[in-house]
Structure 1
Amino acid sequence: MRVLALLDGTIVDPRAPLFRADDLGVMRGDGIFETILVADRKPRELGPHLDRLERSAGLMQMRLPERDAWERAAQAVIDNWPWDTAPQMALKLVCTRGVDGGDGTPNGFAMGMQIGADTLRKRTEGVSAVTLERGYAPDVMERAPWLLLSAKTLSYAVNMAAMREAEARGADEVIFTATDGSVLEGPTSTVVIAQGRTLLTTPPSSGILKGTTQGALFRAAEKAGWKTEVAKFPTSALFESDGVWLASSVRLVSQVHTIDGTEIKSDADLHAEINRLYESNY
């Protein structure tokens, strides 16, 4: 199931051609995107997602349509989604730099997509993960901003290659590590660990995306009396912590039960509490 809207709010056939063959998003992956969970007609963390879209555009030095246009397109998709049969959807916002040799006018759209069975499985059953080297030091973002490490770009070939490597190793997900052995992020998720009543996640300054779902979880946890920290931590902490989760907009807060073939702590009661905290935002 797909529902596609242009930025003026027009609903179009998702099977029909939309971009020119010489669009830079098609030829070079030169663009940005966001994916938002919409549950029962209500988009989750829409503001933070649009903030991150704007930040990505700034890092990419590309023009971005006005925020009102994205909100209009998103609402058009929401209004035309078959909620009676699909109570949740993944809403993708996509923007490219435009055509090669053009004037820089961006192209964008919003598209609603059905959430797949594998994603729902990961929510309920948890995931296994492998650690893979990303090949960067945690301070490289400051030294080499042109690597766009904290921008959510369309250039996802490396991330998808990492996911294929995980599958080849019999795992569901990947946790990237830096050259100093510290934990970074997943290809499509933020890593969260629990140490007692403290939740920790890696700082965006290490060259990762600022997590929207992780941010919502931390917001609720702080209100409930938990301590939260945004700080570097070593790979060894994954095996020593009281729980590990991969937070993403559509998979939500998925518990990790196995890393590199080793079972780690995955307490069901703690996982239920973490999920209740996240859901309390909505």
Structure 2
Amino acid sequence: MKIECPHCHLSGELNDQDVPLDGRYIDCPRCNTGFHVKKPATQGWNPNLMSVCPHCNYSTFTDEMFEVCPKCGLQGSVYQEKKRKQEEAEQHKQDMERLQRSYRQDDFIKAPTKEPEAAIPLVPAPVRYTGWGVMAVAALVAAFGFFGVMGYHGRDLYTQINETALEPVSRGAIFLRHGLFPWVLTLYGCGMLIVASQFVRLQHWALKGLEWGGWAGLAIGAGYEIADFVGWVRRSSDSPSLLYYLVGLMTTLFMIALWVALPLALIWWLRHERITDEFLEP
């Protein structure tokens, strides 16, 4: 077939087999102008003619061609135009995908998947500060009791007390008076340290454990002061005055108030909603 550039009118020949039915885009070798070349339709040939309907598969099973399907009414021209637009849209989509991949080469490299790490529970500030405060006080109590245990010498006290006592004092009584309390403080302080360390880790049992520890501290302090008051009365003369008992009682009540203030404050705070809400079951 003969072709001609519409710009510089350069003419030439082109094989019909190299031109598809919908035409071909060619660049002029002289002026580099592009133009579209369409294959001339042969006489009696219509590209819209069909032998089989692509919609309902109707066919005459002969060489007869039709442009409008006699069964469903599909027009060949409409079908060819729709098919051409679909092919152009698909080609445009593929071209855009190639363009995007050419600009983003790193899309082909996938980072290795990481295993999800176990979530570390965040300790709320009220729980954290309460636990630290209890651990600090418990460490002081345990240290005070430990030094008392290290400073207790039962034999020396037994000899010293019996030298000046009007009646002999047993070793058990001396231990209950001077050696038991340091041991109680040491064990109590160590126990509260352990419970408080689990409290800051949001262990549910530690909340109740700290409350029990508060009640235990209250009982230890009150019991010690009451025992000291009993000793105060026993150390008195045969006929002590009322003022003597009053001074001892007021001193005991004051010391009990000091002992129970901190445990009661701890128990009240542990029952506060700012603490209990953090230990609710999920």
Q: TM-score range by the shorter chain?
A: under 0.3
Q: TM-score if structure 1 supplies the norm length? A: 0.18
Structure scoring higher RCO (CA < 8 A, sep ≥ 6) equals: 1
Structure (1 or 2) with the larger CA radius of gyration = 2
Q: TM-score if structure 2 supplies the norm length? A: 0.18
